[in-house]
Chains A and B, each alone.
Chain A
Amino acid sequence: MLRYALTKLGGALLSIGMVVVATFFLFRLIPGDPAIAYTRDVPLSPDQLALLRRQMGLDRPLPEQFLDFVLRSLRGDLGTSYEYRRPVAELIGERLGPTLLLVGTGLAVAVTLGLWQGARAAWNHGGRLDRFSTGLSLTLWSVPTFWLGLLLLMVFAAGVGPVPGIFPTRGMEDVDAPDGPLYLLHVAHHLVLPCLTLVAVVYAQYLVVMRSSLLDEIGQDYVTTARAKGLRDAEVRRRHAVPNALLPTVTLVFLHIGLVVQGAVTTETVYSWPGLGLLFYEAIKGPDFAVMQGTFMVLCVAVIVMNTLADVLYHVLDPRVRSA
């Protein structure tokens, strides 16, 4: 077990190293002079552009820039944002909370809803419930997030006809937000629409994976045995079939936990949610290469860490992996 975990850990570290190298070169492949691109609407004299290039470190030879980048990355220093003139790590730290709240809540709800509906659908496969829930989730899955977000915003934030606009139109909090426990309710109130949008669009994937995985289990001998023991239908499902069917979803869920730090670019943009997705979006608009680089690296590392965890967990959960 220990050897297995160490192998996985080594692999992860190697991947992270590759990410650092790839990030550096990837963001230098982007066409254009970062100093010019960043100041494209500001008239600057050649002297000021030279100063900006010096401040961005663009005047130094590439190998030197690379070495500097690697050393700094190892120290956890992700550079300084041109746009905000602040350390990228600090900017990311500031946005992490709101993103974890939004995407974390969204993921928890989507996983719960998806797995529950998926199990139901598989158990009654071909039935009306199956057709309805699978159909609904796939329809929502195909809807563009941006469109759904705006639609929900217009209906439930602005109000249409008899539907009152009871939700805020932006952000995580308003000016003069209440203090203490009421603040939590205030944020929760702001969280409803973005979270709903996020859940509606993604829960289908958990539903579909759960459904097909459970369908595989239904025909298995142990399920027949359980039935033969005289267990009630719901018991067979809950105690025997579902736990076995859960395995494939573990990978999926862990992969998505890793992606949580990516934020939800579209949802955060529609609802002006001050998270990492919005930061990344603004960095692209800037373009603020240091921020793009930093958020990209944090995302890659999070995905690698979570995948490694999933591998290890799989080992614990599934005896077949251990014997293999």
Chain B
Amino acid sequence: MTRLGGRLAALGLALSLGASPATAAQAVPAQAQGQARTAAQDPAEGKRIVRLGAIQAIDSMNPFLAVRVISTSVHRWMYAYLTTPDPKTLAPSPDLAESWEVSDDKLTWTFKIRDTKWSDGAPVTAHDAAWTLSKIMTDDGAKTANGPAVENFEAVSSEDDRTLVIKTKRPQASMLELPIPIVPRHVWEKVPDIGSYEAEQYPAVGNGPYVAIEHKKNAYVKLKANPAYWRGAPKIDELHVIFYENPEAANVGLKKGDIDWIGRLAGPQFQALAGDPDIVQWNTQGRRASYLQINPGAATADGKEIGDGHPALKDPKVRRAIHHAIDKQALVDQVQNGLAVPAHGSIVPPMYKDFFWQAEGDARVTFDPARANEILDDAGYKKGSDGIRTMPDGDRKLEMRFSIHTEDPVEDKLAQFLTGWLKDIGIRLTTRKLDSNKFTEETGSTALYDIAISGWSVNPDPEEVFATHLCSRRPTAAGEGGGTESFYCDEEYEELYQRQLAELDRPRRIELIKQMQEKLYTDAPIIAIYYPNNLEAYRKDRITSITPIPEDKGILYGGSGYWPVYSLQAVATPAGSSGNGGLSAGLIIGIGAAAVVALGAGGYLLTRRRRAAADDRE
């Protein structure tokens, strides 16, 4: 026992010996930092670096292949697009295209390309833009990221260095929202197979506000300001995008100062950052709508009924009664902890002021269980002795399933509220938890659902989310899913959709899009419940200024365009250290020293033991 005690004491000694050089080493860089900080008052001394934490790694640095939000965001910062959303109104505004006009038949678009330079000094021309767009049209391997955007293109050509001409098959109102980065032809035409090209050549040639200079896969992307950028170089020197797989770890990184900014936070993660004096909690309107899918009697694109949706849900009155039974404000308060806005409209969130529509006055379906009961009574759905209603023909009870994802506490909570409210109007709801593959299949292809949770993020041009409610998006006759969000199919809605596609007058198009939302609201194949807020956080001791998009209560990371990262201003980092790199170097030396001491102590103990053993033998 005494021997053991002695050894433990020795171990403790080794540990404390190991610990002291570490603390000493820590003190040194702190001091050095202090000196550097005074030196850094001369702006030439330190770099202004902003480090963005991302809960996603880059899938590809090739803009023809990248689909993850993080990658498309980085590409928005590296390459210019023909147009960019205006920072105030989000309406399309000039970017690489200085101006444009469209022919009277609405089929030919002519863009005037800005006279500017690629980051390698070569001039940017209309031939670059024509090559990029044609490549996507003609090469299946280049379609991965933006194939849908050029599907309606007939031909693309460059008449001279400045003039780009796009001919479309049908009029296309969303032409000024092309999500396509224009790449330098002189670099990319040498690539033999775009579909398998990784584009890991640095510095990457671009014409956006930043140039990518390094990418360490699954770790970080390093970008530096592009001095040749036509609007002028950004006000910071470097932008680092640092990958965290785990949101909680990213939070720790932000609190500690390993990163300066995180976008797209979940509610609990956002709330965990409260109370830190150095951190700004950014809570604004979001770009997402959460809604319930109500199976309206699913069918394939050729009209054959599929699935096993409850027959009562085919009745618009039942769907309306369900709408009346939902207390959206309670969902916001209880399920979203107040970090959302109750939805009285449809799939376009209020952030998009132009396109946003909501029901007013009598048209609004308010939380009113009595009214819901009245509607169902009048329609002949009689309540049985157990309080559950039956179909008017009396042969089936209103017992329905609510499909949610497994392991999603928010949806779990939502299900509890909904079950209670529907019970009050005589509908029994049972929750069905599905893994995401099964969920996608049952709510998108096979229609094995009654009510399901869903949601969609919307771009400044909302056309694509409206397309998810078209007849043609329903599964094919062979049962292959086509990307419907509701199995909705309505003649009037189809007509409105086609009309807005061809309407190039923005105010008139906005009007049509609002009518489509009203249609979805009254027919209720989906019921919007709330618009979750956009939650972000950044360190104000590092980032001194950043402008959201839109400028009024907008988004910092993950919105459209590059305004927020272009507007960034930051405190200079002390010279000779980049972020925590300098600190780490000091610590590393400390830890190295500690390890050496520990090894030494261990070795000493070992030799002592050997000697003792040898003594024993003698």
A residues within 8 Å of B by Cβ? Answer: 30-33, 36-37, 39-49, 51, 53, 55, 80, 83-86, 94-95, 129, 150, 153-154, 157-159, 164-166, 168-178, 182, 185-186, 188-189, 192, 232, 234-235, 268-272, 274, 278, 281-282, 287
Contact = CB atoms under 8 A, between A and B. Distances in A.
A177 B472 CA distance: 52
B242 A175 contact: yes
B468 interface: yes
Interface residues of B, number: 78
A153 B198 contact: no
Interface stretch (B126-134, B153-161, B440-448, B560-568): B440-448
B480 A175 contact: no
A276 B148 CA distance: 33
Closest 5 CB pairs of A and B: A32-B437, A274-B218, A169-B253, A32-B441, A43-B464
Contacts of A178: 585, 588
B581 interface: yes
Given A33-B481, A51-B143, A129-B4, A159 B441 contact: no
Interface of B: 4, 22-23, 26, 51, 57, 59-60, 62, 65, 67, 140, 143-144, 147-148, 151, 195-196, 198, 214, 216-220, 222, 240, 242-246, 248-250, 252-253, 255-256, 258, 301, 435-438, 440-441, 444-445, 456-457, 464-465, 467-468, 472-473, 476, 480-483, 578-581, 584-585, 587-592, 613, 616-617
B202 to A, nearest CB: 14
B440 A37 contact: yes
Contacts of B4: 129
Given A41-B456, A44-B483, 18 more contacts: A37-B436, A46-B472, A55-B140, A85-B65, A153-B248, A164-B23, A165-B256, A166-B587, A168-B258, A169-B244, A169-B253, A169-B256, A175-B220, A178-B585, A188-B588, A188-B591, A232-B617, A278-B218
6 contacts: A154-B252, A174-B579, A175-B51, A176-B581, A189-B584, A272-B243
A83 B59 contact: yes
Contacts of A129: 4
A168 B580 contact: yes
Contact of B438 (A32, A53, A176, A281): A32
B481 A153 contact: no
Given A43-B465, A46-B473, A85-B195, A272 B245 contact: yes
Given A46-B476, A232-B616, A274 B244 contact: no
Contacts of A39: 483
Contacts of B481: 33, 36, 49
B583 to A, nearest CB: 9
Contact of A40 (B217, B240, B440): B440
B249 A49 contact: no
A43 B242 contact: no
Nearest to B577: A176
Contacts of A41: 456-457
B126 to A, nearest CB: 27
Given A174-B581, A175-B222, A175-B242, A153 B148 contact: no
Contacts of B219: 171-173, 274
B500 to A, nearest CB: 15
A42 B581 contact: no
Contacts of B588: 178, 182, 185-186, 188-189
A64 B476 CA distance: 23
Given A48-B147, A166-B26, A177 B244 contact: no
Contact of A164 (B26, B198, B467, B616): B26
Contacts of A49: 480-483
B246 A272 contact: yes
A86 B196 CA distance: 6
B246 A168 contact: no
Contacts of B476: 46
A281 B55 CA distance: 13
Nearest to B457: A41
A150 B242 CA distance: 19
Contacts of B245: 268-270, 272, 278, 281-282
A188 B59 CA distance: 27
Contacts of A235: 613, 616
Given A46-B473, A129-B4, A272-B245, A175 B581 contact: yes
Given A175-B578, A189-B588, A272-B243, A42 B67 contact: yes
B3 to A, nearest CB: 10
Contacts of A30: 437
A153 B252 contact: yes
A174 B23 CA distance: 22
B216 A185 contact: no
Contact of B445 (A36, A173, A232, A271): A36
B483 A33 contact: no
Contacts of B143: 48, 51
A157 B253 CA distance: 8
A235 B436 CA distance: 59
Contact of A157 (B51, B222, B252, B480): B252
A270 B578 CA distance: 24
Contacts of A45: 148, 151, 467, 472-473, 482-483
A150 B248 contact: yes
A159 B437 CA distance: 40
A168 B584 contact: yes
Nearest to A128: B1
A279 to B, nearest CB: 8
Given A51-B140, A85-B60, A43 B441 contact: no
The interface centre, meaning the residue of B456, B481, B584, B587 with most chain A CB atoms within 10 A of its CB, is: B584
A190 to B, nearest CB: 9
A166 B592 CA distance: 13
A30 B436 CA distance: 11
B249 A270 contact: yes
A53 B243 CA distance: 30
Contacts of A186: 584-585, 588
A178 B577 CA distance: 11
Contacts of A188: 588, 591
B256 A157 contact: yes
A175 to B, nearest CB: 5
B246 A185 contact: no
A173 B589 CA distance: 16
B581 A177 contact: yes
Contact of A51 (B60, B147, B473): B147
Nearest to A173: B219
Contacts of A46: 301, 472-473, 476, 480, 482-483
Given A169-B256, A175-B579, A270-B249, A44 B148 contact: yes
Nearest to A42: B67
Given A31-B438, A55-B140, A185-B588, A271 B616 contact: no
B445 A185 contact: no
A41 B456 CA distance: 7
Contacts of A153: 248-249, 252
B244 A170 contact: yes
A99 to B, nearest CB: 12
Contacts of B26: 164, 166
Contacts of A270: 245-246, 248-249
Contact of A85 (B144, B435, B591): B144
